[in-house]
Structure 1
Amino acid sequence: MLLKARSTGCVEAFDLHLFAVSRRDPKTGEWSLVLPVSCMDPHSRGALRLSASGHADDDVVIDHGFFSDSSGHDRAVLADGVELGRQIARSMMRQGLISDISSPPDDCTGQALLDHIDRGVSFLLSPFVNLSNGS
């Protein structure tokens, strides 16, 4: 499943992707579902620095530059995406498709949500919502 969506600040097309990733724990047999959120128009910029020598064993520096935009745009977009993921998860719970939402909890808002996003970000700028069907 892939969902293209708009954050509250989006002015064209879409700036969010949400997609579902499921896995089964081989030890317990329990299924889980993760809804990663991706910022599709990040304002942050990173850098790749190569050594002048061109030798493969010389240092290569990769600075992803996550959240380097001074306006806070990327965090705001991802916070909107996490909230959309929560709405989807709550709908799935009402339908009996999942038993709980393990992360982030509903009371994780404001700065706590931004901290959650900071901890969960990876190369795709993807914090996530964890769900469980309890079986």
Structure 2
Amino acid sequence: MIPCFICKKDSIGGFTYGLPTTPLSQHVGLCPEHNTLENKKAAILHWIETTQASVTAFNEANFARHAEPVEYELSVSYLAGGSASFRCIKWNVPDKATLQVMGIDGQYTFIPLVHIELFEVIPVNDPNRFTPKASVTERYSIVGGVPTLQR
């Protein structure tokens, strides 16, 4: 049974819309009483919007699970001059004194914050880059021994 989009009665003998291979719960219908051109347009628009929303939600929920781990390019500029770049899968500042960088090989590098002028983090293979909440480059300066995100 596909309920009428307007009154929720059975839409048998009226109008139904949906993909043939999908369950009836993913169809929209109109009973013979509400089977008008305006109601058909509204029902089809509702079906399109709900289908797009459910596909988007499904993709967002499952995309990260099937994607490669995020890899970052972390560039460090030192106070004394010079710079270094690291390919990493994780980075953290756990104690407000040290930048910890976990390389793609699983090895950690520890850099005291007192030696860092700024560091920049750029996602290399971010699985969320195609979603509306895509990551951007993050640039941190060290202010009073604390990494501060530059806006």
TM-score normalised to structure 1 length: 0.28
Larger radius of gyration: 2
Higher strand share: 2
Structure with higher RCO (Cα < 8 A, 6+ apart):
1
